[in-house]
Structure 1
Amino acid sequence: MRGGTIQINWHDTMPVLTLDFHSFSGTLATGGSDKDIKLWVITPGASQQKFPLSSYKKSLSYHSSTVNILRFSPSGELLASGADGGELVIWKLQSTDDQSSWKVSKTLLFHRKDVLDLQWSSDSGHLISGSVDNSCIIWDVNKGSVHQILDAHLHYVQGVAWDPLNCYAASLSSDRTCRIYVNKPQTKQKGYEKINYVCQYVLTKLEAHNVDDSKPFLAKTHLFHDETLNSFFRRLQWSPDGSFLLVPAGICRFSSASDPVNVAYIIARNDLSRPAVQLPGASKPIVAVRFCPILFCLRGSKTDSLFKLPYRVIFAVATLNSLYIYDSESAPPIVIVAGLHYAAITDISWSPNAEYVAVSSQDGYCSILEFDDEELGVPFSLGDPKSASEGIACTTNLKADEEKKHEAQPTLTKTSDANKPTKRRISAIAIN
């Protein structure tokens, strides 16, 4: 693995708030405070010692305010971008060999304030968005209209996620709740089923357990940071097979006398009512997570797997100043990257072939890590994702005493002493 911060002028040195790889061509799109969307081509470094190279292709100019979020559709034909002031735009790829030829197809108008996050449905027909107006909206993209409004949150909605199996959706808000919605279709004429999402679970507090004592505390503790968290984004996501939901911005105590610890929560599909595993972060809050789009074959060399899966799921977790890459077959992270940026990290994206992972930052730059062939493993061929996910079972036999033996070393660091990471014990802990 190699990589680092690419020293180019991404958005006139203004904050880069979002980025996403096209699901087929691998084109990287970035957006930020300069109101533009820029398209880039990422190519491997000239040698093993060189960083990946980034070449500018084109700017997509339409927004009149800061671009907070952009995501390509699974089909690769559409691009959705959300901005301040409630702007939400659908771009369409033109029928040409030039993958940078995008034109505005629709403008979706209903959010009253800034759009902070969005996610496509797996069939690219619908979109869910979250806004500073405290609401989530499910859009019918083909019609360009509001399909459903989910407005139970009491503060900003800073993250939304859509289950790839189209059964659930999720939202995360600075009101310290994560809401999980289940699709209960309404039958229409001619047997047509209209999607209809109903809130099934509200995750807000959990009865804590001392890792050294099975006796629970008397009081329940909040699962998430409050509105004072220094980030507008709490980007959550479902795993590509739908087996679990990964949620950032968590906070917990491991004992009644301990200080709060920043964590990300893993919520298993077979029990969405509470977190199954917590991933302790570094000193800074976790603000974004993103799954590698490729599943990998088991290596069979580790016994502390997070989940009983027939394959390995790899995902990235970003704090305000660090990036952790996890493997579902082991408890501690497999990569830790710190000190790449001088301001907060804002978003993460994986290339479709898992060759690159990119992060954006408010310092106006992006970092890209490049993996060698099969460095992450051998790709796994998934036949039926629905049948595979139904057999998922979360393991809860991780022992805290054994986990503490793992001491993770930073893999890449910047040479600045101010940003040099310290050694930390980082390991997943099952919540019993």
Structure 2
Amino acid sequence: MKGGTVQINWHDTQPVLSLDFHPHFGLLATGGNDHDIKLWEITRGESEKKLPTASYKKSLSYHTSAVNVLRFSPSGEHLASGADGGELVIWKLHHSDDGYAWKVLKNLSFHRKDVLDIQWSSDGEYLVSGSVDNSCIIWDANKGSVHQILDAHLHYVQGVAWDPLGQYVASLGSDRTCRVYVNKPQPKSKGYEKLNYVCQHVITKSELQKHEDTKPTSKSHLFHDETLPSFFRRLAWSPDGSFLLVPAGIYRDSSASDVLNTAYIFSRNDLSRPAVQLPGASKPVVVARFCPVVFHLRGSKSAGLFKLPYRVVFAVATFNSLYIYDTESAPPIAIFAGLHYAAVTDIAWSSDAKYIALSSRDGYCTVIEFENDELGMPFCLAETSKTANPPAVSKPELSNQMAMEKPEAPKDDEAADKKTNKGNQSQSSTATKTPDTNKPARKRITPIAIN
């Protein structure tokens, strides 16, 4: 793999707050503080040492405030974008003789304050959004109307995720709770069932115990509070729906004084508590995103955490680092550290798993390119039966053994976090081979200011 910060003017040096790949075209959409959505074509580097390049295609100008989130629909026909002030827009793709154009189809008006995250249902018929007004809204995308309001959070809703099997919706807020809603359809007059999501689980604390043989001694919060300096806590479902990955986690071991930053994995078979705690990170985890492609098992003899007939690859990002995992081994398969001068805001995978991109408040985006079959041989999910109970996480308990040594923070982290407008940056990178499953590859890319 190879990659680094692409040295172009993404959004007029303004923070880039979100990005997403089109599911069929080689397009990357980005949204930022300049109120615009920009479309880019990502192409491979010309040689092994060349980074991927991004070529500007066009801008979609409609929003009057910062674009916080954007997501393409599963079909690629629509693009949803959420912004400050409660703005939420659905764009439609129009084909023409001279190319294509995106035009505003629906303006969804109900949120009273900033929209921070959105997610499409797997059929593209509905949309869920989370806002600073403490609510989630499920929208009928075809009608452009409110279908249901979920207003149980007591603070900002900073992340939402829609189960690809359609049974659950999950949300994460700065009130330190993750809420899981289950669909209990209501009959309609014409015989159709109406979506109706009700809260099934409110996950906020876990029980601590000093020894395995003793009873729990106290309860500890699972998530950061509202002082976390990020407006985004983007959670995600795996593409097969078998588990939910939730960022912004903290873990306190009763036998130690340190509090670890982490992300939690919830098994679909028990969404009431975390099943796995990812290794501790030096800074809070703010984004989680799954690779849309699943892969054949590699036959690793290492202790896997999941009983799956295939490998699922996913990424989590802290303020300044990117961790890439797969479900066949416990350690991350790659770590990219010191990527940006300011906080990372979003992650996006290309539909063919050739690229992963992340955006940052420093005004730049990083693009990482994978070689052919570097992540593995693609696996067709149709080979396994899709049921309401897909393969689940094998370990139902939180695992202290997963905590690994904290990655070394770049020496210029503190200065980097304060840097916002000192011009362009340059980051060097070298290609790395897929690491041994027992030894994660550590890749340092240190920002350097250029006068």
- Name the TM-score class by shorter chain: over 0.9
Q: In the aligned structure 1, how far is the partner of 2:37 from the partner of 2:123?
A: 24
Aligned residue number for residue 426 of structure 1: none
SS at match of 2:217: strand
- For 2:445, the aligned partner's letter is T
Aligned residue number for residue 131 of structure 2: 131
Moved more, 16-25 or 188-197: 188-197
Aligned residue number for residue 16 of structure 1: 16
Aligned residue pairs total 416
After superposition, the C-alpha distances for 1:368-389 in whole angstroms (9 at most, x for unaligned) are 0000000000000111776356
- For 2:297, the aligned partner's letter is L
Aligned residue number for residue 156 of structure 1: 156
Aligned residue number for residue 446 of structure 2: 414
Shift of 1:208: 2.3
After superposition, the C-alpha distances for 1:275-300 in whole angstroms (9 at most, x for unaligned) are 00011232110000000000000001
- For 2:22, the aligned partner's letter is H
- For 2:314, the aligned partner's letter is F
SS at match of 1:304: coil
CA distance 1:23–1:310, shift in 2 (3 Å): same
Q: Where in structure 2 are there 5+ consecutive unaligned residues?
A: 406-437
Q: In the aligned structure 1, how far is the partner of 2:379 from the partner of 2:98?
A: 31
Shift of 1:302: 3.1
How does the TM-score come out when normalised to structure 1?
0.92
Q: In the aligned structure 2, how far is the partner of 1:17 from the partner of 1:402?
A: 31
- For 2:258, the aligned partner's letter is D
Q: In the aligned structure 2, how far is the partner of 1:253 from the partner of 1:177?
A: 17
Aligned residue number for residue 44 of structure 1: 44
Q: In the aligned structure 2, how far is the partner of 1:84 from the partner of 1:302?
A: 49
Aligned residue number for residue 33 of structure 1: 33
Cα contact 1:58–1:100 (8 A) shared by 2 = no
- For 2:67, the aligned partner's letter is V
Q: In the aligned structure 1, how far is the partner of 2:390 from the partner of 2:404?
A: 30
Aligned residue number for residue 287 of structure 1: 286
- For 2:39, the aligned partner's letter is L
How does the TM-score come out when normalised to structure 2?
0.89
Alignment of 1:88-99 (within 5 A): 88-96=88-96
Q: Where in structure 1 are there 5+ consecutive unaligned residues?
A: 418-432
**1:276 is the counterpart of 2:308:** no
Q: In the aligned structure 1, how far is the partner of 2:113 from the partner of 2:297?
A: 45
Cα contact 1:241–1:386 (8 A) shared by 2 = no
CA distance 1:259–1:214, shift in 2 (3 Å): farther
- For 1:286, the aligned partner's letter is V
- For 2:186, the aligned partner's letter is Q
SS at match of 2:190: helix
Shift of 1:191: 1.7
Cα contact 1:93–1:99 (8 A) shared by 2 = no
CA distance 1:366–1:191, shift in 2 (3 Å): same
- For 1:173, the aligned partner's letter is G
- For 2:28, the aligned partner's letter is L
After superposition, the C-alpha distances for 1:70-99 in whole angstroms (9 at most, x for unaligned) are 000001100000000000000000033766
Shift of 1:14: 0.5
Alignment of 1:354-369 (within 5 A): 354-369=353-368
CA distance 1:87–1:268, shift in 2 (3 Å): same
Shift of 1:393: 2.9
Identity %: 68
SS at match of 2:223: coil
Q: In the aligned structure 1, how far is the partner of 2:385 from the partner of 2:120?
A: 18
CA distance 1:99–1:196, shift in 2 (3 Å): farther
After superposition, the C-alpha distances for 1:247-271 in whole angstroms (9 at most, x for unaligned) are 0000011234321100100000000
Q: In the aligned structure 1, how far is the partner of 2:40 from the partner of 2:85?
A: 26
Shift of 1:396: 2.0
**1:72 is the counterpart of 2:104:** no
Cα contact 1:70–1:118 (8 A) shared by 2 = yes
Cα contact 1:241–1:385 (8 A) shared by 2 = no
Moved more, 285-294 or 394-403: 394-403
Alignment of 1:374-413 (within 5 A): 374-383=373-382, 387=386, 390-396=389-395, 408-413=440-445
CA distance 1:142–1:250, shift in 2 (3 Å): same
**1:298 is the counterpart of 2:297:** yes
After superposition, the C-alpha distances for 1:157-195 in whole angstroms (9 at most, x for unaligned) are 000000000000000000000000000000112320000
